[in-house]
């Protein structure tokens, strides 16, 4: 059975990944809007 700390670390990594992905998408789509 995984400890709470392991699940916490995995969840944090997933969240930081999602956040970084959204930041990149935000920047890319903003450029897209400027082109328009």
Partner 1 sequence: MVWKIVLLVVMTWVIVGAFILPAPQQAIGEASRIFYFHVPQAWVAVVAFLVSMVASVRFLRNGNRLEDDRARVAAGLGLLFSLLATVSGSIFAKVTWQSYWNWDPRETSILILLLIYGAYFALRTAVTEPERQARLAAVYAIFAFVTVPFLMFVIPRVLPSLHPSDSIVDESGSFAMSLETSVVFFPSLAAFTGVFIWMYRLGRRVTTAERLRIEE
Residues of this chain that interact with partner 1 (CB under 8 A) are 4-5, 7-8, 11-12, 15, 18-19, 22-23, 25-26, 29-30, 32-33, 36
Residue 11 CB, nearest approach to partner 1 (Å): 5
Residue 5 CB, nearest approach to partner 1 (Å): 7
C-alpha distances in Å from residue 33, one per residue of 3, 10, 20, 22, 28 = 45, 34, 20, 16, 9
Residue 33 CB, nearest approach to partner 1 (Å): 6
Nearest to 15 by CA among 4, 26, 7: 7
């Amino acid at each position: 059975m995984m400890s709470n700390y392991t699940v916490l670390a995995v969840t944090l990594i997933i969240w930081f990944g999602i956040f970084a992905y959204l930041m990149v998408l935000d920047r890319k789509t903003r450029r897209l809007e400027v082109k328009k």
